[in-house]
Amino acid sequence: MLENVVLLLQSNQALFFSLVGVLGLCVGSFLNVVVYRLPIMLERQWTPITYETTFNLVLPRSHCPACKKNILPLHNIPLLSYLFLKGKSACCSQSIPLRYPLIELSTFAISLFLAIHYGVSWQFVAALGFLWSLLVLFFIDLEHKILPDNITLPLLWTGLLINSFQVFTSLENAVYGAVFGYSFFWIIAFFYQRWRGFEGLGLGDAKLLSACGAWFGWQMLPLIVVLSSFTGTVAGLIYILKKRGSLREAIPFGPFIALAAFITMVWGQNIVSAYCNLFHVSF
Ligand SMILES: [Zn+2]
């Protein structure tokens, strides 16, 4: 059965890409729900008040945050509804945050990109799961400056699990990757706090780097650290110059790790082997 589906998708690229495109849009729509609701769910867990109404990823039904009316399925079609409604809600003409179409579009684009890059394979299926989780972490950290354990920890376990089948690297590399990734950030965070007297790096960053190590092996960690620190520093400098703020208003680091992890997943192997050839070292 599964073999037949694989054969069909391999022989019919147009069908494969269309299915992935539609899937990307639907999942993008769901990721929007997670990005909006998960931080609220966590906040409710952390406050001692008991709430009367249920609030999770399914309940209450999709409604307009401004006037609380339910959103009709017709007005909830990924991307198309936003364009058709010209960015205003159908119920009360409030502008819909740009985050919604942006998440749908990036999920769509990334899913298609992975389909082209990996083709019909287990690597493709795993990469989809990894990148969808990264997208959620990217947007939640950007807005709320948290990387929820509910996502970083399962990402870590699944990395170890898939690599027990050698999907991206050996299980041995994955285990070392998970341990080194966490320890690296933990040590920096520890000394930074000693030195500056306040928390500069959250341990959410350590868990995310640990997950990246579990997915792609310890060999990829230096590349992820270099790429994310570089892009993070550039963005931080631009932020300070533009807003005249100080570094103390911690800008979230998670989005830069997520970006670096994406680049590393797709091109990391090539970058690392080019680098090793240059200096005549091998792993
Ligand atoms: Zn409304």
Nearest Cα residue to 32 out of 90, 106, 83, 131 = 106
pLDDT of residue 244: 67
Q: Which residues of 40-67 are buried (b: 16+ CB within 10 A; e: fewer)?
A: eebeeeeeeeeeeeeeeeeeeeeebeee
Query: Who has greater pLDDT, 194 or 133?
Result: 133
**What average pLDDT does this structure show over 258-277?**
91
pLDDT of residue 49: 78
Query: Who has greater pLDDT, 248 or 240?
Result: 240
Please say whether the beta carbons of 220 and 262 come within 8 A: no
Cα–Cα distance between 191 and 18 in angstroms, integer?
50
Domain ranges for the chain: 16-113, 121-283
Q: How far is the CA of 43 from the centre of ligand 1 (A)?
A: 24
Q: How far is the CA of 63 from the centre of ligand 1 (A)?
A: 8
Q: How far is the CA of 74 from the centre of ligand 1 (A)?
A: 15
pLDDT of residue 78: 86
Q: How confident is the model at residue 246 (pLDDT cuts 50, 70, 90)?
A: low
**What average pLDDT does this structure show over 181-196?**
88
**What average pLDDT does this structure show over 96-115?**
94
Q: How far is the CA of 64 from the centre of ligand 1 (A)?
A: 5
Class of residue 15 by CB neighbours under 10 A (exposed 0-12, middle 13-18, buried 19+): exposed
Q: How far is the CA of 68 from the centre of ligand 1 (A)?
A: 6
Q: DSSP for 224-279? A: HHHHHHHHHHHHHHHHHHHH---TTS---SHHHHHHHHHHHHHHHHHHHHHHHHHT
Cα–Cα distance between 175 and 164 in angstroms, integer?
10
Q: How far is the CA of 107 from the centre of ligand 1 (A)?
A: 25
Q: What is the pLDDT of residues 122-144, one digit of tens each?
A: 999 999 999 999 999 999 999 99
Ranges 39-48, 119-128, 187-196, most confident: 119-128
Residue 283 has pLDDT above 80, yes or no: no
Q: How far is the CA of 87 from the centre of ligand 1 (A)?
A: 12
Q: How far is the CA of 67 from the centre of ligand 1 (A)?
A: 4
Q: What is the pLDDT of residues 140-181, one digit of tens each?
A: 999 999 999 999 999 999 999 999 999 999 999 999 999 999
Q: How far is the CA of 96 from the centre of ligand 1 (A)?
A: 10
pLDDT of residue 77: 85
pLDDT of residue 247: 58
**What average pLDDT does this structure show over 260-280?**
89
Q: How far is the CA of 44 from the centre of ligand 1 (A)?
A: 24
Q: How confident is the model at residue 279 (pLDDT cuts 50, 70, 90)?
A: confident
Query: Who has greater pLDDT, 199 or 15?
Result: 15
**What average pLDDT does this structure show over 89-113?**
92
Q: How far is the CA of 62 from the centre of ligand 1 (A)?
A: 11
Q: How confident is the model at residue 17 (pLDDT cuts 50, 70, 90)?
A: very high
**What average pLDDT does this structure show over 26-34?**
94
Q: How far is the CA of 56 from the centre of ligand 1 (A)?
A: 20
**What average pLDDT does this structure show over 188-193?**
84
Q: How far is the CA of 70 from the centre of ligand 1 (A)?
A: 8
Please say whether the beta carbons of 82 and 100 come within 8 A: yes
Q: How far is the CA of 102 from the centre of ligand 1 (A)?
A: 20
Q: How far is the CA of 91 from the centre of ligand 1 (A)?
A: 4
Average pLDDT over the chain, rounded to an integer: 90
Other Cβ atoms less than 10 A from the Cβ of 219: the count is 18
Query: Who has greater pLDDT, 198 or 219?
Result: 219
Q: How far is the CA of 88 from the centre of ligand 1 (A)?
A: 9
Q: How far is the CA of 69 from the centre of ligand 1 (A)?
A: 6
